Amino acid sequence: MKPGSFIAGLLTGAVVGGVIALLYAPKSGKETREDLKQKLEEYGKKVENIKAKASQKSKQVREDLAGKIEDLAKEIDNLSKAV
């Protein structure tokens, strides 16, 4: 299982569970809709935060990999000159 699909499933389950809990809560329709709107906004912010962190981590991994490839290319060049 990919970590991204697990997180997506976890978030989806949390949203669905939250919606169901709000719909069955003993509140008026207006209060429930307001609560639902607030929760969806909170989850939206959390998803954006997770996306930003994933993007940042992806950028960091690409930069690290590019540096290692550059070092490897230099090492190969040095070894080929030595031979």
| 3-class DSSP state of 1 | coil
- Report pTM: 0.51
Q: Which phi and psi angles does 2 have, rounded to 5°?
A: -75, 145
Residue (of 2, 4, 1) closest to 55 by Cα position: 4
Neighbouring C-beta atoms of residue 22, cutoff 10 Å: 19
pLDDT in tens, 16-73: 887 787 777 777 778 878 888 898 899 889 889 999 999 999 999 999 999 999 999 9
User: Domains in the chain: how many in total?
Assistant: 1
Domain that holds residue 38: 3-82
Q: In whole angstroms, what is the distance from residue 50 CA to residue 34 CA?
A: 24
